[in-house]
Amino acid sequence: MRLTTISVALAAACMATGAAAESFTGTYQNGVVTTVIAPPANGAPAQGGAYWKGVATGAYKSGAATRSNYTCVGWLTPGQPTNNEAVCNASDNETDTWSVEILCQASDINDPSKPTTCWGAMTGTGGRYAGKTGQFVQHGTTTSGTSEGAWND
């Protein structure tokens, strides 16, 4: 069983500059993913979770670039059309911070190299992002992928 690790290229890309409502594109690279999977028991489906860190890079339409670090915790919701969810905290420095909530389509648990699509919401928690919200979509695998989105005004 596989937990699709979703990341924050999304958020990292989203955080480059103070430009309000400017769209972004980006990439993410996850580090080592630590997973815990409990096998099916007594008729209940398998359950699992994961923890990982990574680095994301991004660019706004204006050309401004960013590099961000993130930490995520995810969980499996077997049998659902969107079977992977996670929350992540990210920053491009110690004061400019944000969190994301991510939901992913069901993936092929037998082949972690197959890409999946994720989408989610961003919430600014500190510095220039405090009080801002946004959204993103992400395409990729457990190890890497791309994203696009925007912060709201």
Q: What's 130's DSSP letter?
A: T
**Residue 11: how many CB atoms within 10 A of its CB?**
38
Q: Which residues pair with 150 in a beta bridge?
A: 23, 135
Q: Full-prediction pTM beyond 0.85? A: no
Beta strands in 94-132 (DSSP E): 97-104, 116-126
Task: State how far the Cα of 96 lies from the Cα of 126, in Å rounded to an integer.
Answer: 5
pLDDT (tens digit, 0 to 9) for every residue of the chain, 153 residues total?
344 444 444 444 444 444 457 789 999 999 998 988 888 888 887 788 889 999 999 998 888 888 999 999 998 766 666 678 899 999 988 888 999 999 888 666 566 677 888 999 999 999 988 999 999 999 998 789 999 999 886
